[in-house]
């Protein structure tokens, strides 16, 4: 059986490389570029407004409506889903296998991904429905069904099937496995050879499984309340640790930036064996894994919002990609490169490399502790959000009665993820992510006229209101 699983992992790993090859890269970047151009580069022209409408409204009182969460809670839930192991382990993997230039392609996916996620979120609010419990339910399966009609329903079902399975893999087993690995690494530093690996893994599995059951059975509102507390706190602690390393090596920053830009187009000039294909491929794969723009998962959380204006909620999608990739992933990558830790290019790196980078300033134990805590909180937040995504996808396919059995399965897989080998789960997740992205990207392209009309209408109404207000002031 072990040999069969090993062979299956190799098969899915190879299939993942095919799925996330040049065609997918062109489709992702092409969709982001097309939407950016069609929407007049809304993510750049209205970036300030997007920040004021998201960060600026973070603590503003927002009216409630039945079965909904606040816009910030919806964004926090989605951001919790994106800020996971990809922000630490995923970036380390991309830099080690693709070189420093992979960070450049992470940024490229983020810049174009802002328009993609803006469109996803807008459509999710535009085409959402009330479910049997009175909650808002939405996402790609709903805007495919309601926006493209009956003939596109098989595409909606394909997305929902891939999403419900991907939630068990990437959103569940992988996250808990990374939590377990981070805790074991920290304990090994504190008590070398202490024989705590198995007890630590079991403890992580029990805690993760219990947390998933406790939070997810409370529905979107309980998850939103947890996410709006968890996401800002964990992001701040990790960012401060990275900034401490960067600040201590500030003189190296120009050289690091040169390495990133040169490595994006001439990876062999950084290290022998690196290729442009690997650099581009790993940058795109880990970029999408991290910010999930084009994947279609985050709109499921945004659809739960009490916000009734699709464009205003769409601004949260822009902020989400910016915070996840342009801030957190960049901090991880620059910290690795500026710290001076040895990166064995061409060999996959783990969280131990990130711990070593932080350890250059915080001490070996301090770096391991920050990474262990950060990985646990990042992974736990992703676990909870993906539980909601998987449940919504399962509900779309099988109805409301399937939600509780699915969440029970999700909690059981969370425990198994702490003690199982995750090579197969990682490989299978890449394939399932591709099966989610394809119908979602098709729907985004097909519904782009709707996004354009909604966007133009919003700014036209806003401009008219501003003109009226100015006239009243002058009079």
What is the model's pLDDT at position 224?
66
Q: Which of 443, 464, 449 is nearest to 120 (CA)?
A: 443
What is the model's pLDDT at position 1?
38
State the Cα angle at 295 between 165 and 79, rounded to 5°.
Answer: 95
Tell me: pLDDT of 347 over 70: yes
* Confidence tier at 258 by pLDDT (50, 70, 90): very high
Q: Which residues contact 3 (CB under 8 A, 6 or more apart)?
A: none
pLDDT tens profile 113-161: 999 999 999 999 999 999 888 888 999 999 999 999 888 999 999 999 9
469: buried, middle or exposed (CB in 10 Å: 19+, 13-18, 0-12)?
exposed
84: buried, middle or exposed (CB in 10 Å: 19+, 13-18, 0-12)?
buried
pLDDT tens profile 226-250: 777 777 777 888 899 999 999 999 9
Average pLDDT in the chain:
82
What radius of gyration, in Å, describes the C-alpha atoms of the chain? Answer: 22
> Mean of the pLDDT values across residues 405-415?
88
420 DSSP assignment: S
User: Could you tell me the CA-to-CA distances from 205 to 150, 177, 370, 435, 441 in Å, in that order?
Assistant: 42, 9, 20, 28, 35
Domain ranges in the chain are: 17-474
User: Taking the model in full, what pTM does it have?
Assistant: 0.85
DSSP for 271-302, written as a single string:
STT--HHHHHHHHHHHHHHHH-TTTSSHHHHH
Is the CB of residue 439 less than 8 Å from the CB of residue 430? no
The topology under which CATH files domain 17-474 is: Amino acid/polyamine transporter I (1.20.1740)
pLDDT tens profile 301-341: 899 888 889 999 999 899 889 988 899 999 999 999 999 88
Angle between helices 351-362 and 219-248 (to 10 degrees): 50
Q: How far apart are CA 149 and CA 145, in angstroms?
A: 5
What is the model's pLDDT at position 468?
47
């Amino acid at each position: 059986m072990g040999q069969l699983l090993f062979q299956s992992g190799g098969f899915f790993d190879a299939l993942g490389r095919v799925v996330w090859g040049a065609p997918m890269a062109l489709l992702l970047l092409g969709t982001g570029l097309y939407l950016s151009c069609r929407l007049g580069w809304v993510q750049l022209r209205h970036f300030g407004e997007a920040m004021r409408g998201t960060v600026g409204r973070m603590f503003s009182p927002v009216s409630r409506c039945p079965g909904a969460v606040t816009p910030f809670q919806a964004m926090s839930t989605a951001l919790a889903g994106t800020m996971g192991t990809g922000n630490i382990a995923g970036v380390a993997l991309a830099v080690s296998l693709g070189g420093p230039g992979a960070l450049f392609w992470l940024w490229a996916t983020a810049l174009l991904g802002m328009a993609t996620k803006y469109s996803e979120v807008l459509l999710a609010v535009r085409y959402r429905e009330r479910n049997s419990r009175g909650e808002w339910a939405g996402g790609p399966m709903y805007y495919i069904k309601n926006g493209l009609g009956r003939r596109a329903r098989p595409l909606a079902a394909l997305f929902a099937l891939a999403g419900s399975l991907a939630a068990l893999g990437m959103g569940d087993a992988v996250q808990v496995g990374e939590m377990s690995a981070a805790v074991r690494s920290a304990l090994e530093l504190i008590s070398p050879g202490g024989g705590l690996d198995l007890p630590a893994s079991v403890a992580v599995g029990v805690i993760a499984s219990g947390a998933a059951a406790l939070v997810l059975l409370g529905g979107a509102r309980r998850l939103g309340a947890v996410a709006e507390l968890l996401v800002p706190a964990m992001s701040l602690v990790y960012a401060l640790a990275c900034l401490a390393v960067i600040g201590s090596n500030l003189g190296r920053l120009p050289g690091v930036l040169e390495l990133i830009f040169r490595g994006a187009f001439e990876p062999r000039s950084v290290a022998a064996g690196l290729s442009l294909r690997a650099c581009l491929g790993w940058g795109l794969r880990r970029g999408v894994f991290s910010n999930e723009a084009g994947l279609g998962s985050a709109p499921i959380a945004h659809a739960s919002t009490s916000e009734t204006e699709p464009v205003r909620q769409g601004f949260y999608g822009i902020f989400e990609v910016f915070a996840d990739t342009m801030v957190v992933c960049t901090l991880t990558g620059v910290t690795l490169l500026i710290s001076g830790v040895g990166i064995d290019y061409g060999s996959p790196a783990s969280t131990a490399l990130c711990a070593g980078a932080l350890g250059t300033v915080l001490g070996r134990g301090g770096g391991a502790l920050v990474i262990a805590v950060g990985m646990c909180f990042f992974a736990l937040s992703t676990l909870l959000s993906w539980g909601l995504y998987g449940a919504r996808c399962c509900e779309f396919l099988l109805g409301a009665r399937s939600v509780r059995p699915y969440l029970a399965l999700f909690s059981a897989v969370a425990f198994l993820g702490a003690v199982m080998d995750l090579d197969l789960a990682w490989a299978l997740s890449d394939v399932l992510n591709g099966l989610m992205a394809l119908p979602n990207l098709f729907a985004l392209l097909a519904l782009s006229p709707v996004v354009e009309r909604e966007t133009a209408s919003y700014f036209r109404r806003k401009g008219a209101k501003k003109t009226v207000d100015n006239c009243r002031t002058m009079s």
